[in-house]
Structure 1
Amino acid sequence: MTMSKWAQRVNPVVQNIPPSGIRKFFDLVSEMKGVISLGVGEPDFVTPWHIREACIYSLEKGYTMYTSNWGLLELREAVAAELHNTYNVQYNPRNEILITVGVSEALDLAMRTLLQPGDEVLIPEPSYVSYAPCTTLAGGRPVFLPTSLENGFQISADQVRQAITSNTRALLLCYPNNPTGAVMEREELARIAEVAMEHDLVVISDEIYDRLTYVGQHTCMSSFPGMRERTILLNGFSKAYAMTGWRVGYAAGNPDFIGAMTKIHQYSMLCTPITGQMAALEALKNGKAGMRRMVEHYNRRRHLVVQAFKDMGVPCFEPGGAFYAFPQISVTGLNSEQFAEELLKEEQVALVPGNAFGNSGEGFARVSYAASIDDLSEAFRRMARFVRRCGVRPRVISAPAQISAIQQEGICQTL
């Protein structure tokens, strides 16, 4: 197809980046009625009232101005205290922590700070949809490290070592993982850290799901000996505190990296909105109890959702973190996109085809269990009907009945 006059003016790098596999699919959802969406990675909980109230009170007091490019010092001090108390890693809040517009901006800043044209970034796959495009937009080249159900969707130190070339500059990690929910074993993560030091790699560690860890204990990459200086730690408030729309994240690292990221930030975003920063400060000060209750609820759903898939005859990886299930839908005889499109068309249930997260995701689908209890229950009834029509024999007569047990847990969507 011939490009228009104006399309020819668009940077070819941008032209060649495909649209998000998540958003592209959910454009279809917006045009349909009665759809139950288990696709978007967003908590179904409303931001706790005391956090919203802190924001309202800050507005009443007239906090409507710019903050420092770095973010509110009080918030940076709270972040530093949180990282020290949780992982025993110390950061100077004045020059080693930057408050960003969500973790998405922090990732973009890290890429643009580190990469020169042609530099390679190692990325475990399946991977979150923005990782490869952000690498490309910064002039780098994504190099994927495929994982599978058989290895628990974890990468190995040997796999990292074998992928390194003279152009490799960074390793991008996201554990607990989106989309699989996989959690890295501490011992293997320590071996990966040794490889990073051996080959002088920088590690960009996206730890947005750190508090949503159900199996074992989350390991902060910066906490390994020798890794603090070569790790850019990314985190935020969206998932653990149900604050997706507030768009507050942060990056922590050595002052050279964070200072360079702040230069880009000050010429693009200037600063994170003060209202979101005030809310985030309240979350760190007084939000732990509400966050723990949310995590408990997700953990209950996790067990029941995985069991519901297995009972309907669909193998499902048991996630150790985040709030996603990653069922192996290839047993239906359909590929990922066919499964997602036909399920949407026939049963009005929306999920994300696994290949949206790279070639390693083909044959799977991402299902978010951060959805209302009623929606989960009804969605699994519909999915059970669909997979039966595909010829999959259920392990039990009433597979979706498993998910209805969630309703007996008495889970409330507001905290």
Structure 2
Amino acid sequence: MQQSVVKSAREEELQSLRRPWRRVRLRWLLLPLLALMVGAPAGRWFYSSWRGVSVADFNRECRELSTRQKWRELSELSEKWSNIEPARAEPWLYRAGAAEGLEDWAGVVQYLDRVPRDDRRAVGALVRKAVAEFEQLNRPWDGLRTCDEVLELEPRVLIAHKQVIFFDAMTLQRAEMVRRIRRAIEVRRESPESYVYLVSASWFYSGSLYRHNTRWLEGDPDDETFQVAQALQVYTSQAKSDLERAADFEHIPPAEELLLKYPHNLELVAYFLNRSITDGDLERVQMLLQAVPSDRADADARFWRARAWCEDALGDLESAERSLRRAFALDPYWWQIHFQLHDLLRRLGRPDESARYLEIYKVSKDLSTAIMTMNRSEEGFDDPEFSRSLLKLAELVGDDEVTVALRQRASPR
């Protein structure tokens, strides 16, 4: 009897020890069911509480690894974080930082591109991406598109304006360059050299064309734009006629050969138009005017000037005047248009109008000479005398937007 009582007491004690564990197990088993019964809000609270701790941990550890320049460890940890939270900016920025430390430039571009565009750091990330595309990866067309995306998000980013204008200037994309310059002026984010590119848009060939396009051709050797821009500096500078340096340019084909390869290239045809006008070759000028699609030719002052030259040579002075005025509307800063209008209006017996264009010509011709000989530095571009001449020319040709911008630049800040 006593043994039975003892046994019963022990069983009761064991049962009491088991009951709490059963209750605990039952509670954990019921949690998912409870979440379903209570609904999504409870589930979100449970997850966000876990996630908050993880974000803090990831952020702290990534920051420490970045400070210590432990790039491989940072790459691994930030990758895990980006897999868990792909919609956050931080893991992608840390991954880009690690890739930069490891000189994995393709990775840098890939990860910076994943930064959400609604994040306040997106603009900075895209600027870094553009720099890597232009410099380390030598993919300038990608860099150009990235800069355009930067300017869509924030139109006042100076470095993006500066980079796209420079690229257009070095690749002789003149109409696009002018469009970008005027966009920069509109938001007052133009650099001083933008005005040099603007007033020389129809005639200037930078001394850096060969160097930059040679590099870009290394990444894309079949690119027509780079091939033509590289060759045009050689042609316009007559580098092949320098016996000491001619061997450096043996790989550049003769101009006529390149024209056969790219018979509809705007820049190449414009180069031959100017050369043929100088030679007085009316037939060839007329033939070249048909080589470029009309929508592109009609948007280029050089082609209207060539049309005017043909019309003048054929005795149709009224048509020549109309063509020259179309050229002036497209490029009001080109000294050659000013002189031709002065000369044509004089022959048409309109001395007052002729005198006006002669006055403009004197300023624009002096400016063109200054541009060809100026110091290509920030100080040179900001030279007070040069700036005054720019302002005077803008006033004379009636370019109100540029006039206002130049006056603001000249006023004390």
TM-score range, shorter-chain basis?
under 0.3
Q: Name the TM-score, length of structure 2 as normaliser.
A: 0.25
The structure richer in strand per residue is: 1
Q: Name the TM-score, length of structure 1 as normaliser.
A: 0.25
**Which protein has greater RCO, CA pairs closer than 8 Å, 6+ apart?**
1
Greater Rg over alpha carbons, structure: 2
